[in-house]
Amino acid sequence: MIEHPIAPGDENIVDGDAATHLEALGLVAVPLPEPADRTGGLPLELVGQHLRLSGTVSLGYHNRLSDFVNNHEGLIALRDVTVLRRNGDPTKVTSPSIWVNPDEVTLIAEMSDVAAREAMGMEFRKKQASQLIVVTPGHTLTGAVHLNPEAVLSVFIESRDPVWIPMTDVRTRSLADRRVISRYAFVVVNRRHIVAATEIQPAMIRGRGVL
């Protein structure tokens, strides 16, 4: 579920937003091969500092988004793409296919209810949830990471692996326009975009004083 606290037509929402320029330039579709698994694409939303896209991706032989992105090399092929404004509203810019550089993406969110249920399945129930505040160049995030009971949170944060960190119940706020708030059930966050991170203390009020 995504919140859109800014009314459509607010001119400030697109200031510095790549969607504004893409509407003027348009996109050229790059033909992609048919997915090998033929099971249809996983609905996703990709969010970067200045770009937000919705589309689908074929996971191939992987069962989970986190496995796919952490083992994928090169550009990610998206299908049925719509360029979104910073607040998540769709623009007129669409493309049947587009290639995206994952190094420039801050987070990738699963947008299907089925995926969200799977993300909260047995594998996460066996792990211990830790609430984090994460700061990236374009956003602040709060959400839960799920670690094995014997894992140390500080070691996990300091580690370089995995590059993409699964998080649940994520709330994001744009640093370019703090009125833009989004919520996602499950995302993977690009560790290379993390500027700072800390555990949420019990005294901190989730959703108010955090972001």
pLDDT by residue (tens digit) across 13-72?
A: 455 566 665 655 555 444 555 544 445 689 999 999 888 999 999 999 998 899 999 999
pLDDT at 138 over 50: yes
Task: Give me the chain's average pLDDT, please.
Answer: 81
pLDDT at 172 over 50: yes
- Common-topology check for domains 11-111 and 116-199: yes
CATH of span 116-199: 2.30.30.100
Q: Residues 6, 88: contact at Cβ < 8 Å?
A: no
Of 202 and 12, more confident: 202
- Whether the model clears a pTM of 0.85, i.e. scores above it, the answer is no
Q: Which residues contact 14 (CB under 8 A, 6 or more apart)?
A: 20, 85, 86
Of 8 and 198, more confident: 198
pLDDT at 8 over 60: no
CATH of span 11-111: 2.30.30.100
Long-range CB contact pairs, 30-33, < 8 A, 24+: 30/97, 30/98, 30/99, 31/97, 32/77, 32/79, 32/97
pLDDT by residue (tens digit) across 33-47?
A: 554 444 568 999 999
Where would I find the beta strands (DSSP E) of the chain?
A: 42-47, 52-57, 76-84, 90-100, 107-110, 128-135, 139-147, 164-174, 181-190, 196-199
The domain segmentation of the chain, as residue ranges, is: 11-111, 116-199
Out of 3-17, 92-106, 145-159, least confident range? 3-17
Alpha helix locations (H) across 46-138?
65-71, 113-119, 122-125
pLDDT at site 38: 41
Q: Residues 81, 91: contact at Cβ < 8 Å?
A: no
Q: What 3-state class would DSSP assign to 51?
A: coil
